[in-house]
Amino acid sequence: MTKKQYGELQQGDKISVFGQIFVVKKIELSEKGVKQGRTKARVEAVNEEGQKKIIIRLAKEEVEVM
C-alpha cells in the first residue's frame, strides 16, 4: 500500500478509510478558506457493498491507496 494526499486522488483510485475499501467516484477541491487558509477535498466514494460515502478532508492529509 502507498499513501497519497486527498488532493492527489483520481477517479477510480481504491482507498482504505474507516477500515473499509472504497473506490473514488468523484473528487472536488475547494478554494482556500478565509478562516483556515487551506484547501479541502470532497471525495465521493463507494464501498464494496455499493454504499456511498462523502469524505471531506484537508487536501494535504494522507490516505492509504491500494
- For residue 64, what are the β-bridge partners? 3, 16
Q: What is the pLDDT of residue 32?
A: 76
- For residue range 37-58, list pLDDT tens digits in order: 788 999 999 998 999 999 999 9
Pairing of strands 62-65, 52-58: unpaired
SS3 30: coil
Residue 1 vs residues 10, 25, 66: alpha-carbon distances, Å: 16, 20, 5
Domain ranges for the chain: 2-65
20, three cell numbers: 473499509
Nearest Cα residue to 25 out of 41, 34, 39, 14: 14
Q: What is the mean pLDDT of the chain?
A: 91
Question: Was domain 2-65 assigned CATH 2.30.30.30?
Answer: yes
The one-character DSSP state at 32 is: P
pLDDT recorded at residue 38: 87
